[in-house]
């Protein structure tokens, strides 16, 4: 089987674009999938992340669509013929950029629609006519219901990262979208980093006698990635990251966390330590997410702290390291996370920080990748790495002021000393109070004291009885000696 793009006999405009992008030798998934897709057969393709799945389905589809190429300005001459569905906005945008680059010398129109941004610009492009549509399921359904696009002439369907779409609950949306497609002859391609039983059931429902292509054992991690596991308490994890970055001379890295709240908190903490950091998670607007990715690609950001929204499909070349600040809850996400480094044959480092409560999650990873993992201990400096981390949900400016440094005496309130236990009074004792001995004596009943008579003799009798048992008042001044 050929391994060179020059031997594929692609149409001249496509071959020229491929050459301009520097493509020479095909990856294993490309070498096996492209000839099969060119024959029109359905395909289930599985490969390690970062091995070029986008080109494996995009190049043969563009080649087969060249028969529809035309320069007409009429939208009717440019119906949607190829539909690519992706689970995340970032992946959809990345796939669209690649396909646009492959088709730039052709008259085939390519566009991308996803949520988080205004629909109006997308609507104008769709109504102008496009042959290749890349979309996330939710936004595509919005456009279908608004009658902005029609899918009755679709000939090619691609489900990219299909396992991720199932993981995040897109199966009902996928079923609705596929119901709008023509029932006749249609080529369907399903590409995924892993094959689960659910994926195989999906393929059985929508693919016709698919050719299964697996270039690596399912869930196998790339051999180009060095995997290290370090034991670390939560408060020490930032220091471990700093030490690995310094010891290895690493300039850029992904840092994965399990929650959106933890993502923002960690990004702010690292930023205060002088590291150029950006956060990427689902609560960020689409504009913020795209700007963070672009800054990372340009080298304007050193550390991209993200949730699993960035674990799938993002193809950023030459990222030397990935840190799992939190061990992922789902073992399969570990495979996808560390696949952000060591891409296209380059070497990479994957560091996972393991707290005492993570032993079960590490065991799940071992079962998945069928490899025994050694959790090491990294010797840290005794000095702190920077400011104390924020508490959950607490911004730096909201934290209470720290106590005065040792050696600097703060003004005290005597009430503090009186309320505090003796061992916490710091040597402060209240001045002794000169108390009159009269008030220190225990109570002694006088010989004339008798219980009042409460006979029902009317109000006057009661008042008289009470008055008879009350001693006359003593003058307070008589209790103190002169000068006291």
The closest alpha carbon to 230, from 368, 356, 387, belongs to: 356
pLDDT (tens digit per residue) in 301-347: 999 999 887 666 566 777 899 999 999 988 888 888 888 887 766 78
SS3 of residue 314 by DSSP: coil
280 strand-pairing partners: 306
Per-residue pLDDT at 407 exceeds 60: no
Residue 415 has what pLDDT?
39
Residue 457 has what pLDDT?
47
The CA R_g of the chain, rounded to the nearest whole Å, is 37
SS (H, E, C) 184-241: CCCEEEEEECCCCHHHHHHHHHHCCCCEEEECCCCCCCCCCEEEEEEECCHHHHHHHH
Spatial neighbors of 316 by CB under 8 A, at least 6 apart, are 293, 296, 297, 340
The closest alpha carbon to 43, from 213, 160, 202, belongs to: 213
User: What is the Cα 76 distance to its own chain's centre?
Assistant: 41
Does residue 340 contact residue 315 with C-beta atoms inside 8 Å? no
Per-residue pLDDT at 395 exceeds 70: no
Is 5-214's fold the same as 225-389's? yes
What is the helix (H) or strand (E) element at residue 377, kind and residue range?
strand 375-377
> In Å, how far are 207, 231, 333, 386, 415 from 52, measured between CA atoms?
22, 34, 19, 40, 71
Count of beta carbons in the 10 Å neighbourhood of residue 299: 10
pLDDT (tens digit per residue) in 49-66: 667 888 999 999 999 999
DSSP 235: G
The Cβ-side half-sphere exposure at 172, using a 13 Å CA radius, reads 3
Does residue 50 contact residue 315 with C-beta atoms inside 8 Å? yes
SS3 of residue 211 by DSSP: strand
Does residue 111 contact residue 61 with C-beta atoms inside 8 Å? no
Per-residue pLDDT at 398 exceeds 50: no
Q: How far apart are CA 218 and CA 220, in angstroms?
A: 5
Of 390 and 168, the structure prediction assigns the larger pLDDT to: 168
Q: What is the pLDDT confidence band of residue 408, given thresholds at 50, 70 and 90?
A: very low
User: What is the Cα 224 distance to its own chain's centre?
Assistant: 24
> For residue 390, with 0-12 CB atoms within 10 Å meaning exposed, 13-18 middle and 19 or more buried, which class applies?
middle
Per-residue pLDDT at 458 exceeds 60: no
Q: How far apart are CA 415 and CA 54, in angstroms?
A: 71
- CATH 1.10.1060.10 assigned to 5-214: no
SS3 of residue 416 by DSSP: helix
Q: Where are the domains of the chain?
A: 5-214, 225-389
Percent of the chain beyond pLDDT 90?
40
Q: How far apart are CA 301 and CA 91, in angstroms?
A: 20
What is the average pLDDT across 138-160? 94
Q: What is the pLDDT confidence band of residue 203, given thresholds at 50, 70 and 90?
A: confident
Strands 303-306 and 321-324, how do they pair?
A: unpaired
What is the biggest distance separating any 2 CA atoms in the chain, rounded to whole angstroms?
Answer: 127
- 134 Ramachandran zone, left/alpha/beta (phi>0; psi -120 to 50): beta
Q: What is the pLDDT confidence band of residue 163, given thresholds at 50, 70 and 90?
A: confident
> For residue 107, with 0-12 CB atoms within 10 Å meaning exposed, 13-18 middle and 19 or more buried, which class applies?
middle
Lowest mean pLDDT among 293-297, 324-328, 478-482: 478-482
The closest alpha carbon to 329, from 343, 311, 342, belongs to: 311
Of 404 and 347, the structure prediction assigns the larger pLDDT to: 347
Of 368 and 466, the structure prediction assigns the larger pLDDT to: 368
Q: What is the pLDDT confidence band of residue 349, given thresholds at 50, 70 and 90?
A: very high
Helical H segments across 78-156, by residue range: 89-102, 119-128, 137-145
Per-residue pLDDT at 414 exceeds 60: no
What is the average pLDDT across 429-443? 58
What is the average pLDDT across 158-176? 86
Residue 397 has what pLDDT?
47
What is the average pLDDT across 432-437? 58
Q: How far apart are CA 383 and CA 405, in angstroms?
A: 17
Of 259 and 384, the structure prediction assigns the larger pLDDT to: 259
> For residue 353, with 0-12 CB atoms within 10 Å meaning exposed, 13-18 middle and 19 or more buried, which class applies?
buried
Lowest mean pLDDT among 173-177, 202-206, 336-340, 473-477: 473-477
Per-residue pLDDT at 402 exceeds 60: no
Residue 369 has what pLDDT?
85
CATH architecture designation of domain 225-389: 3-Layer(aba) Sandwich (3.40)
SS3 of residue 191 by DSSP: strand
Per-residue pLDDT at 71 exceeds 60: yes
Per-residue pLDDT at 216 exceeds 90: no
Q: What is the pLDDT confidence band of residue 131, given thresholds at 50, 70 and 90?
A: very high
Q: What is the pLDDT confidence band of residue 13, given thresholds at 50, 70 and 90?
A: very high
Of 17 and 405, the structure prediction assigns the larger pLDDT to: 17
Q: Looking at the chain, how many residues does it have?
A: 484
Q: What is the pLDDT confidence band of residue 215, given thresholds at 50, 70 and 90?
A: confident
SS3 of residue 254 by DSSP: strand
Phi then psi for residue 333, to 5 deg, are -65, -25
SS3 of residue 206 by DSSP: helix
How confident is the prediction for the chain on average, in pLDDT?
80
Residue 332 has what pLDDT?
80
């Amino acid at each position: 089987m050929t391994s060179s793009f020059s031997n594929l006999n692609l149409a001249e405009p496509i071959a020229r674009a491929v050459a301009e992008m520097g493509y020479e030798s095909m990856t294993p998934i490309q070498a096996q999938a492209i000839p099969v897709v060119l024959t029109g057969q359905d395909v289930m393709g599985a490969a390690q992340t970062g091995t070029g799945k986008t080109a494996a389905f995009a190049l043969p589809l563009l080649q087969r669509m060249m028969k529809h190429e035309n320069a007409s300005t009429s939208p009717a001459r440019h119906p949607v013929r190829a539909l690519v569905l992706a689970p995340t906005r970032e992946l959809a945008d990345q796939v669209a950029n690649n396909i646009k680059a492959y088709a730039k010398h052709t008259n085939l129109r390519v566009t991308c629609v996803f949520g988080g941004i205004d629909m109006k610009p997308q609507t104008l492009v769709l109504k102008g006519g496009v042959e290749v549509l890349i979309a996330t399921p939710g936004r595509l359904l919005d456009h279908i219901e608004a009658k902005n696009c029609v899918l009755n002439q679709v000939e090619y369907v691609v489900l990219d990262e299909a396992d991720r779409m199932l993981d995040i609950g897109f199966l009902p949306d996928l079923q609705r979208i596929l119901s709008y497609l023509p029932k006749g002859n249609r080529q369907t391609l399903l590409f995924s980093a892993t094959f689960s039983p659910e994926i195989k059931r999906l393929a059985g429902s929508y693919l016709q006698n698919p050719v299964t292509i697996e270039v690596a054992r399912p869930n196998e991690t790339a051999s180009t990635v060095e995997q290290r596991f370090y034991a670390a308490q939560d408060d020490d994890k930032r220091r471990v990251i700093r030490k690995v970055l310094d010891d290895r001379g690493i300039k850029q890295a992904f840092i994965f966390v399990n929650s959106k709240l933890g993502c923002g908190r960690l990004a702010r903490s690292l930023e205060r330590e002088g590291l150029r950091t950006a956060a990427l998670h689902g609560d960020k607007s689409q504009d913020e997410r795209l700007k963070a990715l672009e800054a990372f690609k340009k080298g304007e950001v050193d550390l991209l702290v993200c949730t699993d929204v960035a674990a799938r499909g993002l193809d950023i070349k030459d990222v030397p390291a990935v840190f799992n600040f939190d061990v992922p809850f789902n073992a399969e996400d570990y495979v996808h996370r560390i696949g952000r480094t060591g891409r296209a044959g380059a070497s990479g480092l994957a560091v996972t920080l393991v707290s005492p409560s993570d032993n079960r999650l590490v065991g799940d990873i071992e079962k998945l990748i069928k490899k025994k993992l050694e959790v090491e201990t990294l010797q840290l400096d005794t000095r702190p790495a920077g400011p104390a981390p924020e508490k959950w949900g607490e911004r730096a400016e909201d934290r209470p002021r720290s106590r005065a440094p040792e050696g600097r005496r703060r003004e005290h309130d005597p009430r503090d000393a009186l309320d505090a236990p003796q061992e916490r009074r710091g040597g402060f004792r209240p001045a002794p109070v000169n108390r009159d001995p009269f008030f220190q004596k225990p109570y002694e009943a006088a010989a004339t004291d008798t219980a009042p008579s409460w006979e029902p003799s009317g109000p006057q009798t009661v008042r008289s009885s009470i008055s008879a048992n009350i001693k006359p008042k003593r003058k307070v001044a008589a209790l103190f000696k002169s000068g006291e």
